[in-house]
Structure 1
């Protein structure tokens, strides 16, 4: 299901939880904590009040936290309790994203990941089953309420600064850069022919185009460039499927999980690289104690150079994308991805033939792969990895991410993902505004004793290998322990 239509709704943020008249709610047999029905009052724009005599059950955190299974999922958003179990299979972001927050306060994650709140309100209302009891805190007791409130105040501040408004010109310039590189590669081929010198230069141009397409599809997958969501959806399909040849749905479901629970086992698919690589502190020890040795993990930092860098795009991502499209019957994505290969065969086929064109496609992906691997891994692999600790949104993101120093080249080379902390805190913020909010984020981290890591790019590249070597040492200690 795709949310592609704009719905009008006059409800405020508080009004999300108000039920429709005549709508039925259930509480899985849970008794009302105070034994009384609560009257819900929904303010109308004409000044009148529509009184819904519907009882909202009161729940404690202890009750809510028991509903954290795949077949029984409750979420808390702005003190309202929602049963999302039956809705999970229809969630556009995938059922796993909901399950990752089952039994928890999802207020900040919910706000961070959704673009069009008017639409989301309509889907929340039928799922409402109750609210937190008056004596319960707004978030779990292990979380710092002052930190949570300060972050929410920060979000209100950046919203007031219009930091979530995208510049159409900025993104169309990046799209123009990509298209110009594609056309230039074809013109060079037409003029100079398919000899080796021309082919090398063409591959170089197409590699830059593909890498920049990766960053642009990342933007279109996250944020609202256009006011109409159907145009955002179409642009993401065009860039991800047609320009890159990968499934947009596959990327969405995988990447959104990474965002809501970065570096959390087993919820973040980006850190599940076994059996080829062991990451963090706990996974290597687990493999070592079980005497698991698929490869010689002592040398996994070398495998990163030999396998991880060159094969991430042409093999791992391509095979995963094709597998997911086929198994889940993403016919729309299959059609869009087919257009990528058709375009290449029409453009380059007359010069290289079918087999030569396939080689060109995978040569470009092979060259692009180290670029994307470094950019995507340098901000996460060296950072804290753990099992679920149910931290607040700010701590979850800051502990698992780091920034790379800003410069014109670094911004262009990384697609502004050198501001990884700001991107993770505000996924729907356009990347041209990250540098503007970075000082505010840094100040908030300093206030609450959270380390805001900002490092040079080359050091970040080296930290990937150093982190792999550290994990390998932990595996060795556990594997050879007597």
Structure 2
């Protein structure tokens, strides 16, 4: 792919129409929205081979506590699988909707046991209105809350969780791998009969296959320990990939619904600096601004689009937030701690 030029948007201004239109035009002219089928084919093949090798390792080690060590590489493979399913849901891999859905169902439902339909519905609503207090499901009231207004409504155990949520966030991520599966099964009732039949069948095939594998390798006790450790590491990995992206950034409400696409996505998102290792660990989500502006952009092109986006934001006067990985976690945890501050003061 030829080097990306940033000169195409240097003179962009809101007066020229939509603030986003000149950037979109520049990105298209650079070919950054074109599919990278070969890149995804190679990455998917490597991940599947690594997954198969890990399973073979489990079978070779057999019923031994040493087999628990393979929970770590298996959780990493599952995270790669989740990233591929995520990209399929955004139509980054294929131009055809049916092919993308098949890829998503195989990677999410069959290989991970989490519902592709549930994730896509929830994630698309997040992308449409990131960090919006009334419209983004990711900042709704749940085990954790994201504003002091939400915190004021907590009572009992939930109030205690909110007071201490910054400290409890990482331990709670250890439950996320299981929570993702539970949410997928709960969502089946929302789906159409045809969609429900396909998703439920694949979820059950995953569950039967996973349980059969572990009981073939381990005694029931060791199988349970492996499953809990594996899902804990998987949830932690995914949580650490998604946590830096929006926590502590702007949180619009109904009064800010006039924001255009550019401001809505850039002001609520945070990028994470780093090299190829950071790209790999975070699955490309470290280019969160570019990903939110262009959800269908193939993951390897996000890095190439960054100079264009940064230059355009500077030209139109919109802050472009980028920080280190550890500082992104610090900002996210600080925000969670600040949300619980009034409750700690009221004790």
Query: In structure 2, which of residues 223, 234, 239 is the aligned counterpart of residue 368 of structure 1?
Result: 234
Partner of 1:37: none
The Cα shift of 1:172 comes to: 1.8
Partner of 2:10: none
RMSD: 2.2
Q: Paired residues, what number?
A: 328
Partner of 2:187: 324
Query: In structure 1, which of residues 289, 304, 317 is the aligned counterpart of residue 169 of structure 2?
Result: 304
Larger RCO (CA within 8 A; separation ≥ 6):
2
Q: Does the 8 A contact of 1:259 with 1:424 survive in 2?
A: yes
Query: In structure 2, which of residues 55, 63, 66 is the aligned counterpart of residue 194 of structure 1?
Result: 63
Report whether the alignment pairs 1:169 with 2:38: yes
Q: Deviations over 1:29-70 (max 9, x none)?
A: xxxxxxxxxxxxxxxxxxxxxxxxxxxxxxxxxxxxxxxxxx
Partner of 2:24: 155
> Unaligned regions of 5+ residues in structure 1, if any?
1-143
Pairs within 5 Å for 1:454-469:
454-469=322-337
Pairs within 5 Å for 1:368-447:
368-388=234-254, 389-390=256-257, 391-447=259-315
Partner of 2:3: none
Report whether the alignment pairs 1:341 with 2:207: yes
Cα 1:465/1:150, change in 2 over 3 Å: closer
Q: Aligned partners of 2:70 and 2:151: how far apart in 1?
A: 44
Q: Aligned partners of 2:184 and 2:224: how far apart in 1?
A: 17
Partner of 1:279: 146
> Unaligned regions of 5+ residues in structure 2, if any?
1-12
Q: Does the 8 A contact of 1:148 with 1:392 survive in 2?
A: no
Partner of 1:56: none
Partner of 2:129: 261
Report whether the alignment pairs 1:223 with 2:91: yes
Bigger strand share: 1
Q: Aligned partners of 1:369 and 1:176: how far apart in 2?
A: 23
Q: Does the 8 A contact of 1:285 with 1:475 survive in 2?
A: no
Moved runs in structure 1, 4+ residues, more than 4 A?
290-293, 353-359, 474-477
Q: Deviations over 1:104-150 (max 9, x none)?
A: xxxxxxxxxxxxxxxxxxxxxxxxxxxxxxxxxxxxxxxx9537524
* Structure ID, larger Rg: 1
Secondary structure in 1 matching 2:289? helix
The Cα shift of 1:426 comes to: 0.3
Q: Aligned partners of 1:147 and 1:209: how far apart in 2?
A: 46
Cα 1:474/1:285, change in 2 over 3 Å: farther
Cα 1:277/1:404, change in 2 over 3 Å: same
Q: TM-score, normalised by structure 1?
A: 0.64
Cα 1:347/1:453, change in 2 over 3 Å: same
Bigger helix share: 2
Cα 1:346/1:453, change in 2 over 3 Å: same
Query: In structure 1, which of residues 301, 314, 326 is the aligned counterpart of residue 178 of structure 2?
Result: 314
